[in-house]
Chain A
Amino acid sequence: MIELRDVTFAYAAGKAVFEHFNWTAERAETWAVVGASGDGKTTLLMMLAGLRLPTSGQVLIDSQIIERPRPRTGLVLQEYGLLPWATVAENAALGLKLRNYYGPDGRHAPEDHTVAPEKERVDYWLKRLGISAIRNRYPGQISGGQRQRAAIARTLALEPDVLLMDEPFAALDAPTREDLQNLTIELQREHHLTLVIVTHNIEDAVFLGQHILVLGAPPHTTPAVIDNPLSGDTGYRTLTAFYEKCSDVRRRMPAHRLQPA
């Protein structure tokens, strides 16, 4: 479903971050991409989102070459993704509003998009994410966890089949973070989402990713993948296997680039 075909990416005048890189993710899999900052995690995600284009090679989703944001791909960022001047409900409705603004042109909105009953869908997702009570608050008035819930509601209201998340839990305290991780996995299973989460946090990666893509020092040529079949079960965090897997991932990352978990 997601395929990187011989992808090379270099920032202008910089060394390549990816070099002839090939990687595939199947539909409804969960992938965690782990690495230290500056190692190209976010670059990878931006290419998947169609917000950056590879210098050479191709990014394909559902056999379509990605050259601009794809309507059925959702993106949730660490912070600052919400409009500060719009309420939670208005933010959650933004994607639908944009689709209605353009109409089903296949470019900004899927071709089969029908003018959606905006309010109903927004109400459903606010409720599903447990933020109905704060629907009229502004992002500046709510907690970081609530902001992320609003960002997720906004993305899922568009019924994506691919969900990309960039450090979505980095700014949250531990209980909120676990809570949101559980919810993310729940939603992923409910809607058969192909999930790609980028994180510098090894525990996050091990809990969420059925497959963990470890990015060491760039340039990246062949993907280092760790399989992690127990991921996503809430009990996993307390098992010895969880800690063993974390050590496994840690060992595969270049030591000098390790970040505190």
Chain B
Amino acid sequence: MQRRDIIITTVIFLLAWQLFAMIVQRDILPSPLQVAAAIVTQFGVLARHFIASALRVIVSVIIAIVLAVPAGLAMGQMPRLNRIFSPIAYILYPIPKIVFLPIVLLFFGATDFSKVLMIVLILFFQILVPVRDDAAGIRPELLNSVKSLGAGRRALFRFVYLPASLPAVLTAVRLSIGTAVAVLYITETAATLLGLGYYIYLNASTLFDYPATYAGAVAMGVLGLLLYFFIDWLERRVCPWKFAG
């Protein structure tokens, strides 16, 4: 994606929003200018909530990666392990884990831990499955030739499985970011005083401050976008071979 394309798309989006707001003429749809003004006046508060949300989602993604990647690699290269854990992953993967939020809250309270736990629970399987499949799909020719150079299990892991799974990890994380931010929003609407979810919910349903509500939504969108851009940048850094023409 080129920078120019992103700018043009953003401008068109803002113009359409403005137009729509002018047609609808209701205070539940403020214009982008009103929202921009709200962002400026509320900047300090918004920034505090933004940082709280960003930290939660970043920590969750990192924990999910640290847990899911080695597990996926191990399952992918050890068929026996895969036979034991694949059925478990298969059953657990499609369960909508968000429905356990009230239970997690009962167990761990309205803490950062329960929010992070929720996101990790969901991302874990989204990363585990593609990484496992990638590790299992490595060509035997490649494994044999690296083994013939002297690689044992440890070196295969380090020099073949890990780099081979990087693109799958990054793709999985990229696809998970939308989910992670959505789950974050839901967890933050429940019994907390910090985070963009709380900020949006409070302004929409208690204070009826609609420009501020939209400002919170924009901030949440920016959070998702920044994470997305970061993964793109990271992919170019760590997988340059995918971009070599």
The answer to whether A108 and B151 touch (CB under 8 A), given A81-B145, A94-B159, is yes
Say yes or no: is B51 at the interface (Cβ < 8 Å to chain A). no
The answer to whether A102 and B152 touch (CB under 8 A), given A83-B163, A85-B239, A85-B241, is yes
The answer to whether A98 and B148 touch (CB under 8 A), given A81-B142, A83-B160, is no
Interchain CB contact under 8 A, B158 and A101: yes
Query: Which residues 146-163 of B have a CB within 8 angstroms of A?
Result: 146-152, 155, 158-160, 163
What range describes how many residues of B lie at the interface? 20 to 34
Q: Which residues of A contact B239 (CB under 8 A)?
A: 85
Say yes or no: is B244 at the interface (Cβ < 8 Å to chain A). yes
Say yes or no: is B141 at the interface (Cβ < 8 Å to chain A). yes
A82–B150 Cα distance when bound, in Å, is 15
Nearest CB to that of A51 among chain B residues? B144
A83–B158 Cα distance when bound, in Å, is 13
Q: B-side binding surface: helix, strand, loop or mixed?
A: helix
Say yes or no: is B202 at the interface (Cβ < 8 Å to chain A). no
As a 0/1 sequence over residues 105 to 149 of chain B, the CB contacts with chain A under 8 angstroms (1 = contact) are: 000000000000000000000000000000000010110111111
Interchain CB contact under 8 A, B150 and A81: no
A154–B146 Cα distance when bound, in Å, is 10
Distance from A136 Cβ to chain B, minimum over Cβ atoms (Å)? 9
Which of A46, A49, A74, A101 contacts B155, CB < 8 Å? Answer: A101
Interchain CB contact under 8 A, B141 and A78: yes
Distance from B146 Cβ to chain A, minimum over Cβ atoms (Å)? 7
Say yes or no: is A33 at the interface (Cβ < 8 Å to chain B). no
Binds B, one of A10-18, A114-122, A137-145: A137-145
Interchain CB contact under 8 A, B147 and A95: no
Interchain CB contact under 8 A, A109 and B141: no
Distance from A194 Cβ to chain B, minimum over Cβ atoms (Å)? 15
Distance from B169 Cβ to chain A, minimum over Cβ atoms (Å)? 13
The answer to whether A102 and B155 touch (CB under 8 A), given A80-B141, A137-B244, is yes
A210–B82 Cα distance when bound, in Å, is 47
Could you tell me which B residues sit within 8 Å of A by CB distance? 139, 141-142, 144-152, 155, 158-160, 163-164, 166, 239, 241, 244-245
The 7 closest A-B pairs by CB, nearest first: A81-B145, A75-B148, A80-B141, A95-B149, A108-B150, A138-B241, A80-B139
**Contacts A/B (CB < 8 Å), 8 sampled:** A69-B147, A81-B141, A85-B239, A87-B241, A101-B158, A137-B244, A138-B241, A158-B150
Interchain CB contact under 8 A, B145 and A77: yes
Q: Which residues of B contact A217 (CB under 8 A)?
A: none
Query: Which residues 90-144 of A have a CB within 8 angstroms of B?
Result: 94-95, 97-99, 101-102, 107-109, 137-138, 140-141
Interchain CB contact under 8 A, B163 and A69: no
User: Could you list 19 further interchain pairs (A-B, Cβ under 8 angstroms) beyond the known A78-B141, A108-B150?
Assistant: A69-B147, A69-B149, A77-B144, A79-B141, A81-B142, A83-B146, A83-B160, A84-B241, A85-B164, A85-B166, A94-B146, A94-B149, A101-B155, A108-B151, A108-B155, A109-B150, A138-B244, A140-B241, A140-B244
The answer to whether A75 and B152 touch (CB under 8 A), given A80-B139, A85-B163, A140-B244, is no
Interchain CB contact under 8 A, B159 and A98: yes
Distance from A59 Cβ to chain B, minimum over Cβ atoms (Å)? 14
A41–B160 Cα distance when bound, in Å, is 27
Nearest CB to that of B245 among chain A residues? A141
A137–B146 Cα distance when bound, in Å, is 20
Nearest CB to that of B160 among chain A residues? A83
The answer to whether A151 and B241 touch (CB under 8 A), given A85-B164, A102-B152, A109-B150, is no
A127–B147 Cα distance when bound, in Å, is 25
A108–B150 Cα distance when bound, in Å, is 4
Q: Which residues of A contact B150 (CB under 8 A)?
A: 69, 71, 95, 98-99, 102, 108-109, 158
Q: Which residues of B contact A87 (CB under 8 A)?
A: 241
Distance from A161 Cβ to chain B, minimum over Cβ atoms (Å)? 14
Which of A46, A99, A137 contacts B144, CB < 8 Å? Answer: A46
